Structure 1
């Protein structure tokens, strides 16, 4: 009777039928399921559990799971079933909709293989290495198990081909952020940024998803020979927005304008009467410009260069010469500094005069000696 019942049950199923079953046992290479209303055993081989390669059946299902399955083979006392085929059929329909809509969705990276990443979306999805990030990634090993956002860039059900891109999502988000950032920028704003790249003509600074250029002339109040002398990649800086060209997505920035100017506290650094060391920077017909602090030059008028009359400053000074100067007047508002070299030479002369006084006594002694000799000649 039992055999006859089994024969009846077998005839109720055909290849391609859809059934629902509950997992009763998970073995290493197959899963046993109970099919309600049937006394036949249901068997799912490990190869029919997932679209991805798995080492053991327990990686895909657990006892008690309710599964939708497709009959792939009818045997005398068992049904051979597939979970993979049902999952794939549902998946292709859903994936087609996502592809047509350009939808962004999240899924877990199941495996890292040569050339990219693998995901399970009911069917095997592949992410080529070039489509993982917008930047170069040398080692993808730590991507396994991570959940990333993706877009489908290629779908072909007939060839069972599904190509995904995380890079497309990153670049799309970056583009939106860039437009929002550009729209919010205003000339005169002072914002924080990070030096991204250094060139011969300046430095590109990231100010929140977009880069702006700090021209070499806007890096410092002092003269800069090479941008790398002033800033380094990765350095955090404050920048002022000089101009925004939204059509061409160009932003001009300044670090210099966020820094205290060299003249900002000149009254404290160079009060009237103070003596400073400086370097002759320029010689003109009416005097010499001497740099006493980086970016701060004062004028030594030709009348303040020497005690004697000189026709041109070139007679006494040369560019690059180190000199000592005395501050005659300081005007912080107009950024003017009046200096004197002569006043320090005057002091020097007085000191020399005081020091030489004893020599005069030697002169008197010499006169006395000459006088004595004349007396002797008279005799």
Structure 2
């Protein structure tokens, strides 16, 4: 059944990638219609067109990753990602610098790397004894309409929950294109967003771990220990441990972010104005990285409990009722610029963390575990 669910997810994501590919193809037109700088919009459109094949690879990759994670097969995923990352560095250097393809070369490198990662995991799933019982080949059962609808009933709220959060960050970059100096603002906000996502991957790993721990299968496996620990502790202890790790990681990353603020901009640009602006943004990034890491772990716990609908509402309120309006207020009314946009994101993150902490504290874990 795990293999069939994975096939069902692959079918769903590949189908969804088709309309998304059309949106990516017309990125330039959409951005110009939204009032973005013409030159930036054209360049972004060219990048996205070369990224379209990567869209399909990324969808398959997510399914394969979850398929292996669910079985606690993590080490092969790490090896596959490591091989892909080493290859990616080489391909980026060749395409971007050696062949002079610029952003098109970067997009093409992303596409090639994602497909290589997919191929590595497919080979492992196909030939590894670890997956013999969970992957028995393609099945017609994956195409049953009723089961696809049941899958979508869980998948859509989960996707909405994450999209509400991710899109708010992207919207900040779009809003920066409407500020008086769009090239400077979008450059700095893009660097900030890239830095944020890079750090966020650590928290995503922690969140994925706690999400897996929270599934009922773990509670069943630990059932024999219930008379010692109490049912709720089987569920609560992993959450507590990962929260402590997340706070520690957030503090270390935040301190590191502030310490490297004078040189971080030089990794992305050789323009002095951009480097100075990034320097000013880094303390705000340190705070947002700390909050983002914390909420990512709590969100992982929530998804493990099946609270996608609740989290979608929380994310909607945190980012679109508080976060984005605050960003517009700071940037365009108080004229704080790009820093004001990021301050709005911090407001949304703060509300999200408070809401998720409240839900976890108010949960009856005895009942949840049962």
TM bin, normalised by shorter chain, reads under 0.3
Q: Which has the higher helix share?
A: 2
Q: Which has the higher strand share?
A: 1
- Scaled by the length of structure 2, the TM-score of the pair is 0.17
- Scaled by the length of structure 1, the TM-score of the pair is 0.17
